């Protein structure tokens, strides 16, 4: 479904991505792991058309996406929940989630179905339907951000740091929601800085360091790889003597 080939990206004259290659098949959950500044967010932004590649290409469903704008990629079937989880503060939770469903193509019936699915994935949001975006906690904003992307009806969902900085109490709800989205058959591509936040049900994991992919394989193999351990943040604390 998604194929990134030899992708290079420059920001302010500096090469941030250096010929990275990875793929996401239909129905898979794939994670891109690396410490802050490694190139994870730039990778997602480039896939979403927010940055232009200096070399290489991004293909979605076999189509080269170079030259397509973000709204065109969204209409093609890519949803994006950025790390900042920005929501419209003046709108209620219900309005934030409904907005993309009503402005995207499709019938009124399909729009309602996409909104209903968003609430099934994150049932806690039912209690906050009338709460304004300004009044949401960080975890609630994260759920709204993902639910809003889901309301577009994407076939591929990009999630940037979906659990970063959240209270341990809210993380299970986020992971349960991601599992529910995957069970619907959608492909999911997640960027994470902590390898121990990668869902157990991930199909494949890529590790990025200084703009280069240094590992591709299963999460279990990554956790056993000494080179990966040296560059990944968030390793669990050593056991007490």
Domain that holds residue 99: 2-231
pLDDT value, residue 236:
44
Integer CA distances (angstroms), 70 to 37, 47, 192, 234, in order = 23, 9, 22, 32
> How many separate domains does the chain show?
1
Residue 240 lies in a domain: no
pLDDT digits (tens, 9 = 90+) for 114-160: 899 999 999 999 999 999 999 998 889 999 999 999 999 899 999 99
pTM of model > 0.85: yes
Chain-centroid distance of CA 159 in Å reads 1
pLDDT in tens, 90-104: 999 999 999 887 776
Q: In the prediction, which pLDDT does 105 show?
A: 63
pLDDT (tens digit, 9 = 90+) per residue, 184-196? 999 999 999 888 8
CATH of the domain at 130: 3.40.50.300
Tell me, yes or no, whether 238 lies in a domain: no
Q: So what's the pLDDT on residue 199?
A: 85
Looking at 107-224, list the stretches that DSSP marks H as alpha helix, in order from N- to C-terminal side.
108-121, 138-150, 171-183, 219-224
Residue 32 placed within a domain: yes
């Amino acid at each position: 479904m998604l194929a990134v080939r030899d992708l290079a990206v420059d920001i302010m004259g500096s090469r941030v991505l250096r010929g990275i290659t990875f793929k996401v098949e239909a129905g898979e959950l794939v994670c891109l792991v690396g410490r802050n500044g490694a190139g994870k967010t730039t990778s997602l932004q480039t896939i979403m058309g927010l940055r232009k590649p200096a070399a290489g290409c991004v293909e979605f469903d076999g189509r080269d996406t170079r030259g397509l704008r973000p709204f065109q990629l969204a209409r093609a079937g890519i949803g994006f929940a950025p790390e900042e989880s920005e929501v419209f503060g003046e709108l209620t939770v219900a309005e934030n989630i409904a907005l993309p469903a009503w402005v995207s193509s499709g019938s009124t019936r399909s729009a309602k179905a996409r909104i209903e699915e968003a609430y099934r994935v994150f049932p806690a949001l039912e209690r906050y339907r009338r709460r304004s975006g300004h009044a949401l906690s960080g975890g609630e904003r994260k759920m709204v951000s993902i639910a809003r992307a889901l309301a577009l009806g994407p076939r591929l969902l990009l999630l940037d740091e979906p659990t970063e900085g959240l209270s341990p109490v809210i993380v299970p709800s986020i992971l349960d929601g991601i599992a529910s989205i995957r069970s619907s058959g959608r492909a999911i591509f997640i960027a994470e800085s902590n390898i121990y936040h990668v869902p157990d049900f991930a199909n494949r994991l890529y590790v990025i360091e200084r703009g280069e992919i240094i590992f591709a394989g299963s999460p279990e193999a990554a956790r056993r790889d000494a080179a990966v351990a040296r560059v990944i943040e968030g390793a669990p604390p050593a056991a007490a003597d």
